[in-house]
Amino acid sequence: MITIIKEFRFEAAHKLPKYKGPCANLHGHSYRLLVGVSGNINPETGMVLDFKILKEMIEPIVDLMDHSYLNGIDKDDFPCSNPTAERMVEWIVGNLLASDLENKLNVDLELIRLYETDTSYAEWRA
């Protein structure tokens, strides 16, 4: 099994009303999202999965958050009341697993890592 990882970037603003400190105020981040999937190498293509196909699966999620006010996202399951990096990772994983990504692409979701700053991130691993 080989794991491939695709990186995405987006800008968004939020506030954390349940946090006692400066992050309770409106502020923004330049987020970096890493999505890793694993599988066997296809002997014909030499790839686990074409990065373009992975990008097409992830872009709707990124597009929803890009240049948005995260607390204002009007989607039932989005953690808009307290959009921490941890809650956003949990939401991304849930959406990808619900989309049947693994069966559609014949891969296993292995990693979601969301950088809120250059040195701070939340991560989910299978």
All domains of the chain in start order, with CATH: 2-125 (3.30.479.10)
pLDDT value at 75 more than 90: no
Closest CA to 1 of 110, 94, 125: 110
Cβ-contact 92, 112 below 8 angstroms: yes
User: pLDDT digit string (tens) for 88-116?
Assistant: 999 999 999 998 888 888 999 999 999 99
Query: Does the active-site annotation cover 116?
Result: yes
3-state secondary structure of 45: coil
pLDDT at 88: 98
Query: Does the active-site annotation cover 23?
Result: yes
pLDDT above 70 covers what percent of the chain? 100
Catalytic residue (one of 7, 11, 67, 123): 67
Give the number of other CB atoms < 10 A from CB of residue 100: 9
Catalytic residue (one of 23, 86, 102, 110): 23
User: pLDDT digit string (tens) for 36-64?
Assistant: 999 999 999 999 999 999 999 999 999 99
pTM, entire model: 0.94
DSSP β-bridge partners for residue 41: none
Cβ-contact 4, 36 below 8 angstroms: yes
Report CA Rg, the chain.
15
- Residue 23 per-residue DSSP state: G
The whole-angstrom separation of Cα 97 and Cα 109 is: 8
Residue 48 burial (10 A CB sphere; 0-12, 13-18, 19+):
buried
